[in-house]
Amino acid sequence: MKNIIAFAGSNSLKSINKQLAIYAASLVEDAEITILDLNDFELPLFGVDLEKQIGAPDNVRKFLDYIRNSDGIILSLAEHNGAYSAAFKNLFDWLSRSEKKTFMGKPILLMATSGGGRGGASVLAMAHSRFPYHDAKIAAEFSLPLFADKFADGKITDSEFDDELKEAVKLFQKQL
Ligand SMILES: Cc1cc2nc3c(=O)[nH]c(=O)nc-3n(C[C@H](O)[C@H](O)[C@H](O)COP(=O)(O)O)c2cc1C
């Protein structure tokens, strides 16, 4: 059985991206799913001077171990001002300093959702162009706009978007 980790690029307790990541993970067949939450990997604000003083905090190694031990990653990014949330960027910066090949060649289902009509298109484009430098194998991408209108009770309610996600999950599954 394949090991999948799923998480949101958000530290919001009610993260819509976490809800989407959990739903997408539920569509993967024959897999052991581990849902991660950035709040369980608290890290100080990255800075080169702090890094010199303290090295990499333990949570960096812990998070990298989750990636290393997985067969695939489901990640849904929150968009803040057209970019990664500060919580995700901080984690990414710490991880990338310990391991430049941060995603370790694992297949990634890369997603974003937001309340607006663009569905996190900017942060998705940012990750699309950056993650491959960190050994990400982006298997499929999916964006859900207008989250409140299209998602309820843990599922996508709009059948067109739901079908699109299911196709993306199939592509991801093929690469596991
Ligand atoms: C500081 C801040 C900036 C935001 N900027 C954007 C944005 O650029 N584009 C967008 O679609 N939504 C933006 N939003 C709304 C977020 O998409 C919304 O808060 C969403 O719930 C974030 O995902 P999360 O619930 O997974 O954290 C912003 C929200 C915050 C708090």
Q: Which two tokens stand for residue 111?
A: 């997603």
- How remote is the CA of residue 168 from the centroid of ligand 1, in Å? 23
Average pLDDT over residues 41-45: 98
What are the sequence ranges of the domains in the chain? 2-174
- The per-residue pLDDT for range 83-111, each reduced to its tens digit, is 999 999 999 999 999 999 999 999 999 99
For the question of whether the overall pTM of this predicted structure is more than 0.95, the answer is yes
Burial 90-109, CB ≥16 within 10 A → b, else e: bbbbbbbeebeebbbebbbb
Q: Which two tokens stand for residue 136?
A: 């990400």
- The per-residue pLDDT for range 151-163, each reduced to its tens digit, is 999 999 999 999 9
Across-strand partners of 5?
34, 73
- How remote is the CA of residue 119 from the centroid of ligand 1, in Å? 10
Superfamily of domain 2-174: Flavodoxin domain (3.40.50.360)
Q: Which two tokens stand for residue 153?
A: 């009770």
